[in-house]
Structure 1
């Protein structure tokens, strides 16, 4: 049975702020979010003078002014922006650590592997469980929006990611790449073709964030026509996107393994030859120092999830 240190590791705080009170950081983030001491104090359920004193104390500890204050509110200084970028993942890591320690205190030695649809993680999970009979190795299906969130909030110890994602606060290890396909209705002009080029999609509507497919974004008619506002689509789950594709409301670009996972008779999948492959990585909190994480990372490289 691995010990608590092996299971949960420790936290190292980058940026030279090891001795900063996490409570003061929470106060700082609240003020940075509202840019107003009064509204932040209401959210934190403390008196505004107390909040102001805590922020002043934090500034003294860091030897930096974090907010430019006036009667209307507050604005982040350059130092404040820098601290905010590092404080948020640090507070998330602290919350995740509390979650892991609470589980250990209740005798629940658990390691959670998050994965995106289409990725098969069975063999790496089985190998870790076989090597540690007293350890419960669970899996957690994540979504595009949750794939890093599950690491920051402590729901997962490691997560299989599909790039691009915000990698701040994470250690990210590349695993493999795979082609991407466009999903079209069965009666679409591209259906039945083995492959296509992104130029063939220029006049189509994409049912996802254009930044996910920059090659399409840069040539898309709806994004380049003066005076023509682009159609907007809410961020949807894969299943919802596919329903919209089948109804003829637009197209979606998916990694090949995801498309295979969601095979439907009313849709066709056509490989796009001239866009970048999807990159799959394994990630965990950069602050974690865990032998189990290191061991699973090696297993993930040995047993591809494709």
Structure 2
């Protein structure tokens, strides 16, 4: 497959507009159209349905989009690893989610391998596994659930989840609350991340007010909680790491604990990755 044509295809599939995709790719629209037609001829399949008002993916196009993303990510990962190898430097890059401390296992790894260059990549819910597929990280400490396709995921530990509240909130200071106590609140997480709250949430009932987006970064959530614009559900370690005087946390007793794991691309056969995984899961 011609990776350049695949990149062009993904741009059009994500924009669903040839003009915007051409601008994003910094090429002329007629050139982009010709490349897409050439790709369709190679695959012997129509990828888009176009008229004057819209561009839509066909079933073949949707399948190609699903398969193209990991293929392009793998190609980018290969490029990164070859570039590092060409420098002659032994490196290990670790992704990690907010609130997770990785100092001790990394220190042990560097003590065992003098001269090893270690780098860290702070991740979010959106890219905690993406950094593995595109080669930015060799391993990643992730908060489950994640899409396990193409990955080895090894459990590390679990921890309670807590509700982050303004210090003036009616529930602040309680030893524990239940999910039902939070049914009237506005949740700043994506609802799918806390299905137990989603099942009882007043704002999601038929006829309720339109819901605003969930916030991915802990900093955004804390700012909105402090302003009285909602609450957030986070792992205990995150709430303890990101402290501030205008918010507090309360354990949610009937929420299952959050799971933390180490993940890496299953096809990788790196001795350093396996050694690090053993260190953090021991």
TM range (shorter): 0.7 to 0.9
SS at match of 1:205: coil
SS at match of 1:184: strand
CA contact (8 A) 2:93 2:119 kept: yes
- Aligned-pair distance for 1:108? 3.1
Change (3 A) 1:74 1:300: same
CA contact (8 A) 1:93 1:287 kept: no
CA contact (8 A) 2:48 2:61 kept: no
Residue-by-residue CA offset, 1:85-139 (whole Å, 9 max, x unaligned): 1211221221122122222222332111111122121222122222222311222
CA distance in 1, matches of 2:81, 2:74: 10
What is the TM-score normalised by the length of structure 2? 0.85
Residue-by-residue CA offset, 1:26-51 (whole Å, 9 max, x unaligned): 23223323445566456545566665
CA contact (8 A) 2:125 2:216 kept: no
Number of the residue aligned with 1:192: 173
What RMSD over aligned residues (CA atoms) do the two structures have, in Å? 2.7
Number of the residue aligned with 2:10: 29
From 110, 114, 117, give the equivalent of 1:133: 114
Residue-by-residue CA offset, 1:166-194 (whole Å, 9 max, x unaligned): 44454333222211011122332222222
Number of the residue aligned with 1:250: 230
Change (3 A) 1:57 1:171: farther
Change (3 A) 1:170 1:56: farther
CA contact (8 A) 1:128 1:137 kept: no
Change (3 A) 1:264 1:294: same
Number of the residue aligned with 1:269: 249
Map 1:7-26; keep pairs closer than 5 Å. 20-26=1-7
Higher relative CO (Cα under 8 Å, sequence separation at least 6) belongs to 1
2:136 is equivalent to residue 155 of structure 1: yes
